[in-house]
Structure 1
Amino acid sequence: MRKLAAITIFTVLLIPAFGQDTTPNTTTKKTGRPDIPGTFTLELGVNSASGSPSTFDIGFWGSRSLNVYYQYEMRILKSKFSFVPGIGFSFERFKFKNKYTLDYNGSSLIMVSPQTAGRTNTKKSQLITNYIEVPLEICFRTNPEDPARSFKASIGGRVGYMFDSFSKIKYKEDGEMKKLKDKQDFNLQKFRYGVSAKIGVGNFSLFGYYNLTDLFQKDKGILENSQVKNFNTVTVGISLSSF
């Protein structure tokens, strides 16, 4: 995930350089948007869980998202509005402050403490979910002819499919630091959809995303106090786009 983020950031920063005219003694100077079909969008956000059980206690900074999208903006006639479909990946993680881990008690999904799991020296516990997604937006720009300097606002949604999920635990045993990766679906929803919004200037925006589907499958969420609890997730952060 770190390598992909670094490559994506480098690509986003490098793309505008290829659009510059470096020919000496040029009589005309290129301005505005380089002739690149579509844009690459990088989003960095923090996750929170709405209505989650007390044992699903996630940290603010450790629970984060990285979204990488390719989007193609299609202007609606000559208006200031455009339709923006896309495709890409969303990489999410939830870091548990209490260092609990997901496990099964029979057919029920539960959160297990480090003491119960036999790993009292647990240093970090996370749940990771990875999706392929299709974002769809309606975007308004004050100056569509110069998007790099235009104020913009958009609303839309995303549809995603989870292609990978696992828990990751870092703990110390016999003086040695160890990592344990448990690759399961943990009753997580395979398909999800939600609503999103952005506001910003040029290639920088603030974004918010609310997942309309529960994180876990219906009636298969986390068991706590003899009750199965399902809940949604929310992500807020910053968005950077290349032109």
Structure 2
Amino acid sequence: MKKTLSAIALLCICHSGFAQKDSIFVNRDKDTISLGGIIILKKGNPEEKNRITVTLGKPQKNRKNSNLTTHSVFFDLGFANWTDNTDYLSATSNSDLISRPGSSAIGSKDFKLRAGKSSNFNIWLIGQRLNLANHQFNLKYALGFEIFNYRFKSNLSFSEGGFNPYDHNQDIAHAFIYTDSVSFSKNKLVTKYLTIPVMLNFRSNPEYSNRGVNLSAGVSFGYLIGSRTKQKSSERGKQKNRGDFDLERWKFAYVGEIGIGSINIYGTYSPKSLFRNELNFQPYAIGLRFSNW
């Protein structure tokens, strides 16, 4: 075997004649020969079957983390709901709510959502992470669209204003919600925002994005760019109604995420009401984030 090693070394030396920049290093104690980017290592004891490892090229070093990392087009998918702090007596007296004659007055029970079918879907066009300290503490921000689907259990309908559907002598000059006489198999309110979240981020293992713990917390600022209702019934078929519905144009929310490895969970809660009128709903959502940006 020693003769074999010597032959290989001699061959490498001959090769080095054509590449003057290569260097030769022989470590007799460790039976190691290093020739430029080629490393020959003899392993094993004389009593054992000898093994030889040949490595081509220089050992790869971990690339340095960039101070600014950019991710494009990633998604969130979760469940949406809201907390209800509405003063229904005040909302009714202000004609924000209209009850159908012969039925009970609209109350919190009518605004209960179908939890399993009320959803939040976000499309982030771009997200960046800026290093603040040792790549463990970062500033994260993104730009994208938030879409909330609120599925109602009850037969509520939204109007942009006009005559009371049950009293044509009353002309209401603002948006209102009323109990419909039709039974809906599908009834939902959809809101869409252009949103910028800003968060402080901690990463326990900055060398590998798919390892360690990832924690983020911050706020988001959104602007309402679209809203509509979608209803389905046997009497009217499918109906879509686009409108403002007296929704609050600006959305402020607390946001956060926690991740272990490549699995990330996000959450968002808005302390500000969804509506501008007497209705007082604070929306929130929780779900999976399909990115570790």
Corresponding residue of 2:70 = 38
Deviates more, 1:185-194 or 1:29-38: 29-38
Task: Say which of 111, 131, 145 aligns to 2:193.
Answer: 131
Cα distance in 2 between the residues matched to 1:49 and 1:206: 19
Give the share of equivalent positions with the same residue, in percent.
24
Q: CA RMSD in A?
A: 2.7
1:98 aligns to 2:157 (yes or no): no
Tell me the equivalent position of 1:89. Answer: 145
SS of equivalent residue, structure 1 residue 60:
coil
Distance 1:33 1:89, change over 3 A: farther
Aligned positions of 1:165-184 closer than 5 A:
165-173=227-235, 178-184=237-243
Larger Cα-atom Rg: 2
Measured after TM superposition, the shift of residue 102 of structure 1 is 2.0
Question: Is residue 199–residue 218 contact of structure 2 (8 Å, CA) maintained in 1?
Answer: yes
The equivalent residue for 2:280 is: 230
| Cα distance between partner residues in 1 of 2:217 and 2:287 | 15
**1:10-67, CA deviations, whole angstroms, 9 ceiling, x for partnerless residues?**
xxxxxxxxxxxxxxxx978898999995124311111111125512221102211001
CA shift in 2, pair 1:185/1:29, >3 Å: farther
Cα shift readout 1:120-159 (whole Å, capped 9, x = no counterpart): 4x21111000011001111101011111112111101110
CA distance in 2, matches of 1:33, 1:203: 20
**Partner of residue 111, structure 2:** 56
Report if the CA contact (8 A) 1:129-1:164 is conserved: yes
1:48 is matched by which residue type in structure 2? Answer: N
After TM superposition, list the pairs within 5 Å mapping 1:147-162 onto structure 2.
147-162=209-224
**Aligned-pair CA distance for 1:74:** 0.9
Match status 1:199 vs 2:258: yes
Partner of 1:17: none
Cα pair distance change 1:87/1:169, threshold 3 Å: same
Give the stretch that moved more between structures: 128-137 or 106-115: 106-115
Change (3 A) 1:30 1:50: farther
Look up the equivalent residue of 1:93 and give its one-letter code: N
Select between 185-194 and 71-80 the one with higher mean Cα deviation: 71-80
Q: 1:114 is matched with which residue?
A: 180
> In 2, are the aligned partners of 1:85 and 1:134 still within 8 Å (CA)?
yes
- Quote the Cα distance in structure 2 between the aligned partners of 1:30 and 1:183: 56
Alignment TM-score, normalising by the size of structure 1: 0.74
AA of the residue aligned to 1:185: D
Contact 1:41–1:242 (Cα < 8 Å) also in 2: no
Task: State TM-score, norm by structure 2.
Answer: 0.62
How many residue pairs end up in the alignment?
202
Structure 1 runs not aligned, ≥5 long? 1-25, 221-227
